[in-house]
């Protein structure tokens, strides 16, 4: 589903970035060398007359992503996450002492288990299912059996031992965080250009969305990214990795777009859509039986 970048969209994104840099320079926020100190020991380089090759590649890839493609990538990611957490809760790994313990299950923790750690996973399953439902509604998909991907593939043994499970959890959540960070940036760029009042800036498929909706999509993506960051840290709690909260800032994990390009979230998640990776696990099984192991969680998307 790769589409050529709209020349109008690419041009306006570039114009937006240059205008922003000019404003920062005029406001005195940039030093002569183009570096603004945010705190003692934390510096960010803002000003460059020309984009670096990496930045130009990122802007080119992001300019190709439509709103619908971002939603589609997010739905695939959330379905993948739901399938991952469900199978962790019903797989052999659940009997690890750091989870339900020998002889235990997701809903029957043994005396040698850790009920708090199991609750983290049960809550994560619910949260990923709720995120998927949101993107399904935004795409107009009535039921999960019509989602674009119905089977996900994981390395053999992924749900058999705690190191394999939590190692994969960490890798997946880092990718999800990177995807949503890019989605926030993409929605923000689309909104900024919409606010310019130029109707030619967008891909035809994006013209159905107002600037207020694009603002809102960025906020929703940020709220979901926060939950994925919680999952990353709680996975490290379960594995006993200290400190669990080991980052000052979450990262894009090497991703530079959501849907299009060699370094997109879709490209990063493609191995989990490929039978060569390992055994396949059905999304339908997850949606049919998730209530057996999920934990009710309150809260909805942020206000519009």
Per-residue pLDDT of the chain (304 residues; tens, 9 = 90+): 434 333 343 343 334 444 434 433 433 333 333 333 333 444 444 445 567 887 777 777 788 899 999 999 999 999 999 999 999 999 999 999 999 999 999 999 999 999 999 999 999 999 999 999 999 999 999 999 999 999 999 999 999 999 999 999 999 999 999 999 999 999 999 998 888 765 545 667 788 899 999 999 999 999 999 999 999 999 999 999 999 999 999 999 999 999 999 999 999 999 999 999 999 999 999 999 999 999 999 999 999 9
**Contact indicator for 210, 90 with CB cutoff of 8 Å:** no
Q: How many CA atoms lie within 13 A of 278 on its CB side?
A: 9
Residue 104 resides in a domain = yes
Name the residue range of residue 201's domain: 53-292
pLDDT at position 207 is: 85
Residue pair 86/286 in contact by the 8 Å Cβ criterion: yes
- pLDDT, residue 20, reads 39
185 occurs within a structural domain: yes
Those residues with Cβ within 8 angstroms of residue 47's Cβ, 6 or more apart along the chain or in another chain: 21, 24, 25, 30, 34
Q: Is residue 217 part of a domain?
A: yes
Query: Which pLDDT score, from 0 to 100, does residue 202 have?
Result: 61
Residue 6 inside a domain? The answer is: no
Count of the separate structural domains present in the chain: 1
Token pair for 298: 């309150």
With respect to residue 194, please indicate whether it lies within any of the assigned structural domains. Answer: yes
CA atoms of 155 and 169, how far apart (whole Å): 12
The secondary structure of 144-182 as a DSSP string is GGGSS--EEE--TTTTTSHHHHHHHHHHHHHHHHHHHHH
Q: Report the run of H or E that residue 37 belongs to, with start and end.
A: strand 35-39
The answer to the question of residue 98 being in a domain is yes
Q: Interior CA angle at 271 toward 293 and 164, to 5°? A: 50
Residue 282 in domain: yes
């Amino acid at each position: 589903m790769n589409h050529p970048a709209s020349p109008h969209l690419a041009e306006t994104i570039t114009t937006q970035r240059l205008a922003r840099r000019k404003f920062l320079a005029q406001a005195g926020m940039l030093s002569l060398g183009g570096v603004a100190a945010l705190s003692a020991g934390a510096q960010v380089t803002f000003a460059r007359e020309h984009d670096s090759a990496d930045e130009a590649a990122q802007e080119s890839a992001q300019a190709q992503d439509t709103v619908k493609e971002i939603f589609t990538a997010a739905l695939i990611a959330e379905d993948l996450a739901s399938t991952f957490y469900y199978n962790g809760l019903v797989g052999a790994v659940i009997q690890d002492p750091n989870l339900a313990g020998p002889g235990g299950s997701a809903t029957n923790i043994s005396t040698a288990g850790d009920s708090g750690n199991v609750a983290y996973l049960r809550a994560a399953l619910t949260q990923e299912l709720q995120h998927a439902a949101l993107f399904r509604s935004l795409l107009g998909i009535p039921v999960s059996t019509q989602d674009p991907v119905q089977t996900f593939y994981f390395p053999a043994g992924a749900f058999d031992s705690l190191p394999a499970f939590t190692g994969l959890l960490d890798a997946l959540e880092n990718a999800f965080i990177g995807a949503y960070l890019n989605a926030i940036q993409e929605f923000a760029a689309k909104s900024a250009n919409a606010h310019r009042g130029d109707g030619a800036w967008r891909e035809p498929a994006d013209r159905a969305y107002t600037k207020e909706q694009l603002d809102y999509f960025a906020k929703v993506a940020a709220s979901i990214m926060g939950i994925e960051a919680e999952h990353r840290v709680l996975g490290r709690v379960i594995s006993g990795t200290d400190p669990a909260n080991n980052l000052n800032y979450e990262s894009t994990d090497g991703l530079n777009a959501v849907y299009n390009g060699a370094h997109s979230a879709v490209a990063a998640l493609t191995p989990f859509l490929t039978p060569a990776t390992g055994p396949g696990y059905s999304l339908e099984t997850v949606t049919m039986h998730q209530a057996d192991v999920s934990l009710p969680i309150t809260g909805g998307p942020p206000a519009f």
